[in-house]
Structure 1
Amino acid sequence: MKGTILITSKQLVILKNGSLIILGAFIYAIAINDFLIPHQIGEGGVTGLTTIGYYALHIPPFLTNLFLNGFLLVIGFRFLDQKTVWYSLWAVLWISIFLKLPRLLQYHTSQTIIPAVAGGVLMGVAMGIIFRGEGTIAGSTILAKIMNRYFGMMTGTAMLLFDLIVAIPSGFVIGLQNMILTVIELYVSAVVLNNLLSRFGAKKSVTIITNQTDRVTAILSERLKQGITLVDAKGYYHQEKRSMIYIICTKSQLAEIVPLISEIDPKAFVVVEDVHSVNGKLLDKIL
């Protein structure tokens, strides 16, 4: 049809990732502008340096963020794939834009633990969204991605390590109490980020041992419309050979599988475990 614009799958992925990064950048800026800076709570990595620069020298955070992260992105080009670096540049640009905007929530409290925890949660959520968009916030996340890629260290844990290098000395500028609050905020952020990343590819593995293997397999295959693996096994005590049924499924599918097995064979032995499964090319996302 004339005038119809066709969007390729690659363009759709770029549009989706770009939108996720903008959303994550917005939440990240709210955490800094509305929870950390108003309560003189620091941060780690480059973001920590932007807050220290603001507290000590009144340098606008968006300028420090743009300059220092630009430098680290150059390093990223050497160790990370170019797609991640370009998405990270997109994230840094939008974070800098949102940091320049006026405060949105105008929130202030004397209970300083509240903004520390709230800021940590928002930071973790924001970085999780940006990572899902295949980007980073540059700074310590570039270094964390390198540690993740070459040493297998969890991204959130590696970030916490690098962030503490900046956060602890910041106590000379923001004071001991606020430095402790900064460490709490960083810990909360790392925990939230690790949990969000661990949910990528999260599924359930179900192992079923039953006397009615053929019937259970046939019904599950018909219901689930997916592959089912049969594993040859032999019981040591009775020396009896039997096939075990092994399935990878979602939580919603599990809710359908369990009552179905109970109905077919109430004496079936079922083991359910949490697993993380993705295609080989996406394996780095679950580390």
Structure 2
Amino acid sequence: MYIVEAKKIIVVVIGAFLNAIAMNFFLIPANVYASGFTGAAQLLSKLLGSFAPFNISTGILLFVLNVPVTIIAWRKIGKSFTFYSFISVLLSTIFLEVLPVKHVSPDILLNAVFGGVIAAVGVGLTLKFGASTGGMDIIAMLLSKIKDKPVGVYFFMLNSIIIITAGSIYGWQNALYTLVTLYASTRVIDAIHTRHEKLTVMIVTNKGEQLKKAIHAKLVRGITSVPAKGAFTNQNKEMMMIVITRYELYDLEQIIREEDPTAFTNIVETAAVFGAFRKD
């Protein structure tokens, strides 16, 4: 248990560090914007520097934007996910403040691509180990608890506001290079974690009741149980089907490993869900 938590902390630190490198060495010097709350913080920092008598760094603004979302998530989502997400945001803020902003390359395209890829490696690793980088990931979790709506719409809206605002004020070339960053980030996150918001997990086990109690103690999800029999052994088992969000995959994997490491588990991509997507 302690080893698992230690691994998660290490991955969160690495993810935050990679995010800071992507921002301070590639995206900020090139005036190319990141996605989500990080991009919003980056744009706000630039706007304040241009039009206000004071300036606030991207790292501090990233932390401020995440505070209200984190408070809501602590009450609505769960303490473990929210805690590690907040640690990720806090570490990103510290690294953004400590690392200098410097030009690694004068080529704006290289900055857009490498910045997007490096940031995405950090995000993908963080998601894979059951945490998030805050911001839109937490909003996605909140929305999944309330209603099954495509989170991509909200990502698109926020990123569109960033691109349009930046393009209108500072010129369209750099703002449009943000699209290159977004594309590179999306492809890398897909490769490391999963691009699908919903996943269907089928678990064949002979410890059905034990697994159900453990899952319901951790996740707010319904479970469908079907009697099953092993074709080779003729042993009676139980097949449990559960639909989860990608943010819950790590926690579910840990539960299965702890309660029944011999269980056969199949994870498939889910295109859409109709009906009640939660435990009543």
Task: Tell whether the structures are fold-level matches, with TM greater than 0.5.
Answer: yes
The answer for the alignment partner of 1:25 in structure 2 is 16
Residues in 1 aligned to 2:176 and 2:32: alpha-carbon distance in whole angstroms = 9
Mapping for residues 244-283 of structure 1, pairs under 5 Å: 281-282=252-253
Q: How much has 1:64 moved relative to structure 2?
A: 0.4
Q: How much has 1:230 moved relative to structure 2?
A: 4.4
Q: Is the 8 A contact 2:22 2:119 kept in 1?
A: yes
The answer for the alignment partner of 2:277 in structure 1 is none
SS at match of 2:190: helix
| Residue of structure 1 aligned with 2:41, choices 46, 50, 66 | 50
Change (3 A) 1:114 1:30: same
| Residue of structure 2 aligned with 1:72, choices 64, 69, 73 | 69
Q: Which runs of 5+ in 2 are unaligned?
A: 50-54, 197-229, 233-248, 254-265, 271-280
Residues in 1 aligned to 2:139 and 2:71: alpha-carbon distance in whole angstroms = 12
Q: Is the 8 A contact 1:20 1:132 kept in 2?
A: no
Residues in 1 aligned to 2:131 and 2:250: alpha-carbon distance in whole angstroms = 19
The answer for the alignment partner of 1:166 in structure 2 is 162
Change (3 A) 1:94 1:132: same
Normalising by structure 2, we get a TM-score of 0.63
| Residue of structure 2 aligned with 1:34, choices 22, 25, 29 | 25
Residue 116 of structure 1 pairs with residue 109 of structure 2: no
Q: How much has 1:52 moved relative to structure 2?
A: 1.3
Q: Is the 8 A contact 1:17 1:132 kept in 2?
A: no
The answer for the alignment partner of 1:135 in structure 2 is 131
Residues in 2 aligned to 1:285 and 1:76: alpha-carbon distance in whole angstroms = 27
Give the alignment's Cα RMSD to 1 decimal. Answer: 3.4
Q: Is the 8 A contact 2:26 2:103 kept in 1?
A: no
Q: How much has 1:75 moved relative to structure 2?
A: 2.4
Q: How much has 1:82 moved relative to structure 2?
A: 1.6
Change (3 A) 1:285 1:172: farther
Residues in 1 aligned to 2:185 and 2:179: alpha-carbon distance in whole angstroms = 10
Q: Which runs of 5+ in 1 are unaligned?
A: 1-8, 201-228, 232-277
Residue type matched to 1:26 in 2?
Answer: F
Residue 61 of structure 1 pairs with residue 58 of structure 2: yes
Residue 195 of structure 1 pairs with residue 191 of structure 2: yes
Q: How much has 1:158 moved relative to structure 2?
A: 6.3
Change (3 A) 1:84 1:104: same
Q: How much has 1:186 moved relative to structure 2?
A: 1.3
Residues in 1 aligned to 2:87 and 2:267: alpha-carbon distance in whole angstroms = 21
Q: How much has 1:195 moved relative to structure 2?
A: 2.1
Residues in 1 aligned to 2:175 and 2:42: alpha-carbon distance in whole angstroms = 12
- 51-60 or 157-166, which moves further after superposition? 157-166
Change (3 A) 1:51 1:280: closer
Residue 185 of structure 1 pairs with residue 181 of structure 2: yes
Aligned residue pairs, count: 205
Q: Is the 8 A contact 1:123 1:189 kept in 2?
A: yes
Change (3 A) 1:285 1:25: farther
1:28-59 Cα offsets, whole Å, 9 max, x none, are 00000000000011123221122112322232
Normalising by structure 1, we get a TM-score of 0.61
1:159-189 Cα offsets, whole Å, 9 max, x none, are 4554334333322233211111012211221
Residue 88 of structure 1 pairs with residue 69 of structure 2: no
